[in-house]
Structure 1
Amino acid sequence: MPSRFQDKVVVVTGGTSGIGLATAEAFAAEGASVFITGRRQDALDAAVRRIGGRITGVRGDMAKLADIDRLYDAVQQKHAQIDVVFANAGGGAFAPLGAITEEHYQQTFDTNVKGVLFTVQKALPLLRDGAAIVLTGSTTGSSGTPAFSVYSATKAAVRNFARNWILDLKDRRIRVNTISPGVTETPGLNELFGGGDQAAGTRDYLAGLIPAGRVGQPEEIARAVLFLASDEASFVNGVELFADGGQVQI
């Protein structure tokens, strides 16, 4: 495959595991200079070693504006512009209505909504005209999931960021699209489902509900992200691309 991102500068938040790690690897393999973030230094160091090449790890929590500033300071030390931002950092936990705490709400919205907003906004002075932004949404933003309403609401917000930001950024020709994975084999998913046999059983059950007959792999989501970020998607703007094996289409 041609190196679509040769000498491009790419930022991937939440790049130490799962979809973020797979996507950072894919960008690096196609020649990009990649900056990844993570909250834990050990995980960040491991990801940098695994990816290799022109990879820079910046420790930070994207819910904290000072950490976002530190990320872009690190970029500016090496590069004048950014070509792609993949605002991927996020997370959530189950909490049914009636048991939702203010802390649960605040943490989920700070990570998934505030973090995405300011990751993109603070990148604007560095983003070149014609750059690409990809946001991580979720199938839960379009379909109901028991005990997952707060997380689902954050992902619906992220999807609507894309709809509005393409208008704010149209004069700079910056495209904004959303990738919405379905059930994907990641450490985060395993943790969410309780780990071990319980997680495996839940995963097998959900796989039976997906027309493709299986859960997704991080590398499959990464390929969709790279498409949205590439010139191959030059007339794709504001869309939500579901990478979910057909889950939300039925």
Structure 2
Amino acid sequence: MRFQNKIVLVLGGNSGMGLAAAQSFAAEGAKVHLTGRDQRTIDSAVASIDGATGYQSDIADPAATQAVVQAIEEADGRIDVLYINAGVGGFAPLRDITEDAWDHTHAINLRGCVFALQKAVRIMGKGGSVVVTGSIGAHGALEGNGAYAAAKAGLFMAMKVFAKELVAEGIRVNVVSPGPIDTPLLYRNPGMTDDQVAGLKDMMIANIPMKRMGEADEVAKAVLFLASDDASFISGANLFVDGGLIELG
């Protein structure tokens, strides 16, 4: 029970990797708070986790995140573990990227995550742990992935900087970078048809050394390791969970 009596906040914990992590944190003794944008999936997630509290909140809105943090402070006084998982995908080649699409991708995947950390760290203390979902997209060039890759690359470097700033306070910050994971996010790519998504999935599998998609639970295991005292001497790290795609591809 690595998280007995720990207060955990999972931003983007209503589906996919975030939900798998939230369920795993609770199974190891944590009191879980989670957020999402869709009330239906929030309610479903909360129903699957004993004692969990859900909040409808868009990470692109720092004021909404601040309200969640304030509610947790009033209820529990602190956050011990922060998992920033909220994110959005989307593919478009250079000539087709719109300013609105670029801003939307960065508002969620970069700006919102940075300010979420800023809001939450106020009620974190020594022994606190932050894990952020990055992406292998920040480390490899995939056609059509420019906006997403730029946001995740910026997020990776920002978190390294913040890890250095917070280490003296006893707060660790680490990044987990999933490869192709079979989650709902894969099937919500704006501008792509079902056939294009299926083709993208086949292409990804063909390029993964393990020749399969990853599962949300496999990412959750990496997240819990980095968040736990098992990783007490690790900060500023980036853990690939990608079937060997970056290191072996």
Please report the TM-score for the alignment, with normalisation by the length of structure 2: 0.95
Letter in 2 for 1:220: E
Paired position in structure 1 for 2:127: 130
Q: Are 2:96 and 1:99 equivalent residues in the alignment?
A: yes
Cα deviation, residue 197, structure 1: 5.2
Distance 1:226 1:161 in 2: 21
Residues 37, 44 of structure 1: 8 Å contact kept: yes
CA change 1:195–1:79 in 2 (3 A) is farther
Residues 164, 236 of structure 2: 8 Å contact kept: no
Aligned match of 1:219 in 217, 223, 238? 217
Structure 2 runs not aligned, ≥5 long? none
Q: In the TM superposition, what are the counterparts of 1:192-211 in structure 2 within 5 Å?
A: 192=189, 194=192, 196=194, 198-211=196-209
Residues 12, 20 of structure 1: 8 Å contact kept: yes
Distance 1:153 1:62 in 2: 18
Letter in 2 for 1:100: I
Paired position in structure 1 for 2:174: 177
Give the secondary-structure state (helix, strand or coil) at the position aligned to 2:127.
strand
Aligned match of 2:117 in 103, 120, 137? 120
Cα deviation, residue 198, structure 1: 4.5
Paired position in structure 1 for 2:9: 11
Distance 1:201 1:148 in 2: 15
Q: In the TM superposition, what are the counterparts of 1:1-250 in structure 2 within 5 Å?
A: 3-50=1-48, 52-192=49-189, 194=192, 196=194, 198-249=196-247, 250=249
CA change 1:145–1:22 in 2 (3 A) is same
**1:58-106 deviations in whole A, cap 9, x for unaligned?**
1100111221111112211221111110111111211110111110111
Give the secondary-structure state (helix, strand or coil) at the position aligned to 1:208.
helix
Cα deviation, residue 154, structure 1: 0.6
Give the secondary-structure state (helix, strand or coil) at the position aligned to 1:180.
strand
Give the secondary-structure state (helix, strand or coil) at the position aligned to 1:78.
helix
**1:163-192 deviations in whole A, cap 9, x for unaligned?**
111221122111110000000000110222
Distance 2:246 2:44 in 1: 34
Letter in 2 for 1:229: A
Structure 1 runs not aligned, ≥5 long? none
Residues 89, 188 of structure 2: 8 Å contact kept: no
The count of residues paired between Structure 1 and Structure 2 equals 247
Distance 2:125 2:51 in 1: 20
**1:128-179 deviations in whole A, cap 9, x for unaligned?**
2121001110000000111110100110011112211122112211111000
Cα deviation, residue 196, structure 1: 4.7
**Identity over the aligned pairs, expressed in percent?**
42
Give the secondary-structure state (helix, strand or coil) at the position aligned to 2:144.
coil
Higher alpha-carbon deviation: 220-229 or 203-212 = 203-212
Letter in 1 for 2:3: F
Distance 1:243 1:107 in 2: 26
**1:9-30 deviations in whole A, cap 9, x for unaligned?**
0110111111111111110111
Residues 10, 85 of structure 2: 8 Å contact kept: yes
Residues 136, 158 of structure 1: 8 Å contact kept: no
**1:208-246 deviations in whole A, cap 9, x for unaligned?**
211111110000000000000000001111011000000
Distance 2:201 2:85 in 1: 22
